[in-house]
Chain A
């Protein structure tokens, strides 16, 4: 991967104080020191290169990965910053890597823009940056450009991160949300709802102690294995905010088909079920950060399933439903009990029921 070579080297700045203040956003030496100390030192394998205002890529190099660029952006505002199974930094890398990967792209480069609330400890910021760097390294992507702003107390909640990603889509893939056909199978790569439940617990206002961890993970390896085994797969999407139910509704609507899933084979951890039971929430709408929904034609469903199960992030994969003719845009679930219920789009936020 070629980021343009450099000629002159420079000395990296250091932050000597313990907390971030508005001075670190002022554009002067304090800001440069913060960027160097926290971000450049963590992200850059050529840290002492001169800082330019943009990353530069070699087009011919990009073209070796495929024939189309994929470009995506996402903002991360999770509270708390650190939660069981992950942190905001890991999430910010995984989220954007996954948004590229579900389109069939090889994720290559990320940007990282942070908005920091004054008063945050520099060590916390370092910890987040190191987590981003490690996640990116493990995923084989490079964080090549960024921006740092510091805002007054109260103007943001501790730390917001925006990552933008560039990837290249392999030749021959044509995944689309509007391509599901009656007879297609619906697959997921494992247990649903862990991230949403973990975050709700970690916020502490539920007064519930659980051992549920976020499933936050970069899924491009799994998706590559899946698409190699089942190149005719119609569509892949990560089931983040709004959960499985939201993704299925988007597919049913865009493809003008009906989708029915089977509660008995929809994988949800017992603890997540119990958590939802107590709070009156529905796990189908809980967020995931390491789960994909796959629509595959019936003749490739078995290959897709086998490929996912062979990958460490897809061991719990299963076929959970199918695409049907029937009322276009309608998602239903066959309940364990033998009834049938409609799984609609969520109106707003899920609010716990009173009794």
Chain B
């Protein structure tokens, strides 16, 4: 595939790995632990496992798989809310595919569908709007999920629905924002991180300026990275280079997609439609201030939270679940007590086992349980 194969070239990868090894050999890395680099975004986690990147890196570097999988950080209570909306007989509930399997406290959307709820998988909120046009006598609810990557498409769909005068369409808004989340991780006690790979798709929308505080205040280097394996290797090299030179800068490896100032029309749509919530509950991380958005009052007639009586109950994660520690890089997935035993992709206990972008599922799927458990 043109423009993809070029970024998956094994030969170039070997050159980059050599460069990384050469760089590492000139650095003084304390014996106590390797360098910890967190990839914030689940898309990176997926690529890292799909291409087997971890096994190619020198042992002085360890990747920590961060919170950037929107499906994984969705609290159980919110899934229950989805199910409760979806079970309304007048509703067609639409969602991205991988949110279907996330367990609620009683059931997932997939189970609700099997029991008769009209739950449909869509690829874009515009598909949901098309369904609303086709089914004027039913309410079509779109499950708005994701970071700034998917936020603009939901916003534009709402603006479209507004200008077309469509009234049987609403959004259950669970969009979340990346910056407060990174800040929460940086503020967490016991943090051991030496640098970040910044989220490529989110940055395509918001640009790189919002990350400056990471360099200025927390003195950690970040490189906004693309999703192809060569992108990731090059970005790791760039982070290492900063560490070696004692710098903490926000650099942009993914400049072919990410403009420094982000995408102005997307940002305009976002600020027209949403406002920040005071706080938002995350699975594994708890409540984070200003980390979620809701629809502004002007668009309240598209807000599923207003149209439906939503239980909105807070459901605590199972006690044995250590997703929070894994998300913050305090422990590795396989160090969790229930990894691979009580918690598997078939019956996920914790959020990180749910989506293929979740760190635990990725380790389980691509890494195998036995290997890691034995290595402990």
Contacts and interface: CB of A to CB of B under 8 A. Distances in A.
Interface in A67-81: none
B96 A354 contact: yes
Contact of B1 (A206, A277, A340): A277
Interface string A7-38: 00000000000000000000000000000000
B366 A341 contact: yes
A351 B345 contact: no
A325 interface: no
Given A337-B52, A341-B49, A353 B357 contact: yes
B295 interface: no
Interface stretch (A55-63, A220-228, A247-255, A342-350): A342-350
Interface string B175-211: 0000000000000000000000000010000000000
Given A327-B370, A351-B100, A206 B201 contact: no
A355 B49 CA distance: 16
A50 interface: no
Contact of B46 (A205, A351, A352, A353): A353
Given A347-B345, A352-B96, A342 B356 contact: no
Interface string A320-342: 00000001001000011111111
Nearest to A334: B52
Contacts of B364: 344
Q: Is the interface of A mostly helix, strand, loop or mixed?
A: loop
A339 B201 CA distance: 24
Given A206-B123, A337-B13, A338-B10, A351 B52 contact: no
B76 interface: no
B4 A355 contact: no
Contacts, number: 93
A207 B13 contact: no
Nearest to B370: A327
A335 B97 contact: no
Contacts of A311: none
Nearest to B17: A338
Interface in B40-64: 43, 46, 49-53, 55-56
A274 interface: yes
Chain B interface residue bracket vs A: 35 or more
Interface residues of A, number: 26
Contact of A207 (B49, B71, B127, B345): B127
A336 to B, nearest CB: 6
Q: Counting chain B CB atoms within 10 Å of each CB, which of A273, A340, A341, A348 scores highest?
A: A341
Contacts of A339: 51-53, 55-56, 229
A53 interface: no
B368 A352 contact: no
A353 B227 CA distance: 14
B146 A355 contact: yes
A353 B1 contact: no
A340 B364 CA distance: 15
B8 interface: yes
B343 to A, nearest CB: 13
A270 interface: yes
Nearest to B230: A337
B168 interface: no
B98 interface: yes
A340 B97 CA distance: 27
A337 B14 CA distance: 9
Given A207-B127, A339-B55, A341-B52, A352 B14 contact: no
A354 B97 contact: yes
11 contacts: A205-B121, A327-B368, A335-B10, A335-B52, A336-B10, A338-B14, A338-B56, A348-B101, A351-B98, A351-B101, A355-B201
Interface of A: 205-207, 270, 273-274, 277, 279, 327, 330, 335-342, 344, 347-348, 351-355
Given A273-B1, A339-B229, A354-B150, 15 more contacts: A337-B9, A337-B13, A337-B53, A338-B14, A339-B53, A339-B55, A341-B51, A348-B101, A348-B346, A351-B100, A353-B97, A353-B98, A354-B96, A354-B97, A354-B145
Q: Which 6 A-B pairs have the closest CB atoms?
A: A339-B52, A351-B97, A352-B97, A338-B10, A347-B345, A354-B96
Interface of B: 1, 4, 8-10, 13-14, 43, 46, 49-53, 55-56, 70-71, 96-101, 121-123, 127, 145-146, 149-150, 201, 229, 345-346, 355-357, 364-368, 370
